Amino acid sequence: MNERQMAELLRKRLESSDRKIIYDRKNEKLRVEDAATGKGVTITLGGIVARYDREKDRAIEEVLHYINNALEAMNTSMGLKGHEDRIFPVIRSTSFPTTADDGKKHLIFKEHTAETRIFYALDMGESYRLIDRSFLEEEGVSEEAIDEIARFNIRSLPAVPKKDEVAGNVFYFINYNDGYDASRLLNQALIDRMAGEAKGDLAVAVPHQDVLILADLRNKKGYDILQQMTMSFFTSGNIPITMLPFLVEDGKLRPIFIMAKNRPTEE
């Protein structure tokens, strides 16, 4: 199946009188909007096609679930005050749009690395709403307060990783599928603990929204494995972030390229 065929398949499953569906053939993206409000969600088709090749109908059902819940959340009225425990950070690529509602509302975000930014979300159960400046103004809440609350809340989420050993290296995966797996990278206590336990170089990767990879790289082969793993995950997620892993040095993240000789070089 190619991107055009995927777009047509999703169109048939999502089409209704109260929705507008736009296929961007040049960028291979599909946008689904509420016809009345213009609010909508845009998905990249390449990653979905890659997932379909492996998972078939399961991949389609998960994408449909994501789109339907996202549209529902956009039309749900819920304020920030009284729901502070539902505010979380979400890591996105620097190419992720900084406006919502077809460019009319400016999302609040904070620079993170050369590859990533931190946006903020109000959790609504099955989905969440990204927080924009007009929403903050209506609620009388500052961006600084939102950042502080979100970082506090991310530390409250479970973060017990699954472990796998490959070629003398140890890889850990956090994958709760709650929308905030990659965001757990902002749990500094978690990163500091993993760095303290690592016997080699600690590296991390956030290829898409629903996974955080932590790697204790003990030999050169580990770097190559991490790169291949990150690229594979990047093509399988609903919301890709970055194929580039990071080394953790003194609590900070340094993007690295993994070269053919399995050695890290600074970007």
Low-confidence winner among 65-74, 81-90, 116-125, 257-266 (lowest mean pLDDT):
257-266
Beta-carbon contacts of residue 51 (< 8 Å; ≥ 6 apart): 59, 235, 236
What pLDDT band is residue 108 in, cutting at 50, 70 and 90? very high
pLDDT score of 262: 45
149-177: average pLDDT: 96
Kind plus residue range of the DSSP H or E element containing 228: helix 220-234
pLDDT score of 65: 87
Q: How is residue 159 written in tokens?
A: 């973060």
pLDDT score of 261: 45
112-138: average pLDDT: 89
pLDDT score of 82: 86
163-170: average pLDDT: 96
More confident residue, 39 or 210: 210
